[in-house]
C-alpha cells in the first residue's frame, strides 16, 4: 500500500488534540463560581445546540464544501476557547453559556465533515487508514498535552492552560486553510444503484438503519470506557491514580489502528470488521464480569483499539452507501442526520443503562458487549460489499 505522508490535516488534528486544560475541565467552571446545577445547564445548552443545528450545518457544508467548513469550524473553536478564558477571568455565567453555544456550533460543523473530506480524497481501503492516521495525530496531541499539563499549570494555573489551548487551536486555522481542496468528480456510474434515492429513502433502508445502530453501539461502548474505567480499577483494589497511566497506555496502543487497517485488503474489510466487533464484544463481557487486575488492566489497554478499527471501517461503509444511493452531493447532510439519529439512540441506551446499572456496572458492559456483537453480525449480513474498494 502506498505510504500516506504527513499533511496539514494530520497537523490540524494534532493541534486540536492539544487541550491542556482537559484534566481540570470541570474546575475551569466551578472555580469561576459555576454551581453543579449551572454546570449541567451548560451541558444541556451544548447538547441542544448540537441537536438543533446538526442537519442545517450539514446542508451548509454541502453548499460551501468540506475544506471551507473545516476552516469555519476551526475559527469557531478558537472563538469558543477565547470565550472560555474570558468567562473564567470574569467569572461570568453568561459568557460560559455563550462559550457552550459557540462550541456546539463548532461541533456541528466538524460533525462528519472531516470523514467526508477524507473519503472524497482517499480512495478505497486507503480511506479508513487515513482516518486512523488523522485520529493518531489527535491522540498524540492529547498525550503531549497530558504530559505538559503540570508544567504549564505551574507557570500560570488554569488561565495558562486555556491560553496554551487557544494558541494550539489558532495554529490549526492555517492548517485547515492549507489542506487540499476536495475533488468534485462524480462517482463512476457502475458503483451506483439505479435512480437517485431521496433522503428519506436512504434512512428507510435496513442497511443504513443497521449502520446508524452500530455507530451508536460504538459510541455507547466508548462512553462506558470513559465513565467506568476508574470504578473498575477501584473494584479491583487498585488506586485511581493509575488511571492516568492507563489512559496514556491505551492511547498509545490505539494508535496501532492505522497499521492494522493498512494490512487489511479492501475486499476483506467487511470480514475483518466483524472479527473485531466480535472480539470487542467478548472483551467487554470479560471486562464486565472480571475483577482480576491481571485480566482487567490488559483489557482496558486493548479494548479502545479493538473498537476503533471497526468504527473507522463503518465510516467508510456509510460513505460508500451514500455514493451508491447517488446522494454524494448531500453527503454532509446525510452524515449529520445519521449522527443525530445515532445520538438519539445513544440517549435511549444510556437511559436504559441507568436502570441496568442498578444490577451492577458489569451488567452494562455485558449488555453492551452482547448488543455490539448482535449488531455486528446483522450489519455483516446486510451490508455486503460496502466495505470493499470503491
Spell out the per-residue pLDDT of the chain, length 390, in tens: 445 566 888 899 899 888 888 777 777 877 888 776 777 678 778 878 887 888 888 888 888 888 899 899 999 999 999 999 999 888 888 998 999 899 989 988 887 788 888 888 876 667 778 888 888 888 888 888 888 888 888 888 889 999 999 999 999 999 988 888 877 643 344 444 444 446 677 777 788 888 888 888 888 788 777 767 777 778 888 876 677 788 888 888 888 888 888 888 766 788 888 999 999 999 988 888 888 888 889 998 999 999 999 988 888 888 888 878 777 777 778 887 787 777 777 667 656 655 655 556 677 788 888 888 988 888 887 766 555 544
> Which pLDDT does position 302 carry in this prediction?
93
Give yes or no: residues 196 and 226 share one domain: yes
Residue 16: which of 159, 95, 113, 89 has the closest Cα?
113
Grid cell of 26 as nine digits: 470541570
Query: Is the residue at 387 inside a domain?
Result: no
CATH code for the domain in which residue 87 is found: 1.20.1250.20
Query: Is the residue at 227 inside a domain?
Result: yes
> Which pLDDT does position 359 carry in this prediction?
58
> Which pLDDT does position 267 carry in this prediction?
67
Query: Is the residue at 302 inside a domain?
Result: yes
- Decide which of 125, 146, 178 is a domain's last residue: 178
Hey, is 35 helix, strand or coil? coil
Whether the Cβ atoms of residue 270 and residue 387 lie closer than 8 Å to each other: yes
Name the residue range of residue 222's domain: 189-382
| Helix (H), strand (E), coil (C) string for 204-246 | HCHHHHHHHHHHHHHHHHHHHHHHHHHHHHHHCCCCCCHHHHH
Give yes or no: residues 217 and 258 share one domain: yes
Give yes or no: residues 85 and 125 share one domain: yes
Give yes or no: residues 165 and 220 share one domain: no
Query: Is the residue at 98 inside a domain?
Result: yes
Give yes or no: residues 269 and 328 share one domain: yes
Residue 60: which of 107, 109, 102 has the closest Cα?
109
Give yes or no: residues 126 and 214 share one domain: no
The residue with cell 458487549 is: 369
Give yes or no: residues 38 and 58 share one domain: yes
- Among left, alpha and beta (phi > 0; psi -120 to 50; other), residue 376 is alpha
Query: Is the residue at 3 inside a domain?
Result: no
E runs forming strands in the chain: none
Hey, is 238 helix, strand or coil? coil
Query: Is the residue at 222 inside a domain?
Result: yes
Query: Is the residue at 388 inside a domain?
Result: no
pTM, whole model, 2 decimals?
0.72
> Which pLDDT does position 196 carry in this prediction?
46
Per the structure, the count of domains in the chain is 2
Give yes or no: residues 64 and 210 share one domain: no
Give yes or no: residues 55 and 115 share one domain: yes
Give yes or no: residues 153 and 283 share one domain: no
Alpha-carbon distances, residue 168 vs 75, 79, 144, 157, 186 (angstroms): 12, 13, 12, 17, 36
**Burial letters for 26-37: b for 16+ Cβ neighbours within 10 Å, e otherwise?**
eebbeebebeee
Q: How many CA atoms lie within 13 A of 19 on its CB side?
A: 16
The residue with cell 463548532 is: 106
Query: Is the residue at 172 inside a domain?
Result: yes
Give yes or no: residues 171 and 269 share one domain: no
Q: What is the DSSP letter of 195?
A: S
Grid cell of 183 as nine digits: 475533488
Give yes or no: residues 314 and 355 share one domain: yes
Cβ neighbours, 10 Å, residue 137:
21
Amino acid at each position: 500500500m502506498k505510504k500516506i505522508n504527513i499533511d496539514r490535516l494530520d497537523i490540524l488534528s494534532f493541534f486540536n488534540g492539544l487541550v491542556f486544560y482537559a484534566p481540570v475541565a470541570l474546575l475551569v467552571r466551578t472555580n469561576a463560581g459555576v454551581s453543579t446545577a449551572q454546570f449541567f445547564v451548560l451541558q444541556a445548552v451544548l447538547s441542544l445546540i448540537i441537536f438543533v443545528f446538526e442537519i442545517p450545518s450539514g446542508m451548509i457544508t454541502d453548499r460551501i464544501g468540506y475544506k471551507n467548513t473545516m476552516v469555519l469550524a476551526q475559527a469557531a473553536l478558537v472563538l469558543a476557547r477565547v470565550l472560555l478564558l474570558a468567562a473564567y477571568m470574569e467569572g461570568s455565567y453568561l459568557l460560559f453559556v455563550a462559550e457552550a453555544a459557540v462550541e456546539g456550533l463548532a461541533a456541528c460543523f466538524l460533525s462528519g465533515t472531516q470523514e467526508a473530506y477524507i473519503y472524497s480524497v482517499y480512495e478505497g481501503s486507503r480511506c479508513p487508514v487515513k482516518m486512523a492516521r488523522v485520529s493518531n495525530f489527535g491522540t498524540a496531541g492529547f498525550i503531549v498535552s497530558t504530559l505538559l499539563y503540570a508544567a504549564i499549570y505551574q507557570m500560570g494555573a488554569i488561565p495558562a492552560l486555556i491560553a496554551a489551548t487557544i494558541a494550539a487551536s489558532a495554529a490549526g486555522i492555517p492548517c485547515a486553510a492549507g489542506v487540499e481542496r476536495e475533488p468534485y468528480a462524480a462517482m463512476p456510474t457502475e458503483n451506483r444503484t439505479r435512480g437517485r434515492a431521496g433522503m428519506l429513502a436512504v434512512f428507510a433502508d435496513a442497511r443504513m438503519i443497521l449502520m446508524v445502530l452500530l455507530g451508536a453501539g460504538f459510541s455507547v461502548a466508548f462512553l462506558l470506557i470513559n465513565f467506568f474505567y476508574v470504578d473498575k480499577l477501584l473494584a479491583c483494589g487498585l488506586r485511581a491514580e493509575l488511571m492516568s497511566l492507563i489512559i496514556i497506555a491505551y492511547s498509545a496502543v490505539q494508535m496501532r489502528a492505522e497499521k492494522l487497517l493498512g494490512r487489511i485488503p479492501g475486499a476483506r474489510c467487511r470480514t475483518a470488521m466483524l472479527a473485531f466487533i466480535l472480539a470487542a464484544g467478548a472483551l467487554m463481557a470479560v471486562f464486565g464480569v472480571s475483577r482480576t487486575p491481571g485480566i482487567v488492566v490488559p483489557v482496558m489497554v486493548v479494548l479502545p483499539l479493538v473498537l476503533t478499527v471497526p468504527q473507522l471501517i463503518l465510516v467508510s461503509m456509510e460513505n460508500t452507501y451514500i455514493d451508491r444511493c447517488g446522494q454524494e452531493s448531500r453527503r454532509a447532510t446525510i452524515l449529520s442526520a445519521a449522527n443525530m439519529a445515532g445520538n438519539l439512540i445513544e440517549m435511549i441506551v444510556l437511559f436504559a443503562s441507568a436502570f441496568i446499572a442498578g444490577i451492577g456496572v458489569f451488567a452494562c458492559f455485558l449488555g453492551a458487549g452482547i448488543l455490539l456483537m448482535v449488531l455486528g453480525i446483522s450489519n455483516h449480513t446486510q451490508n455486503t460489499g460496502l466495505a470493499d474498494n470503491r
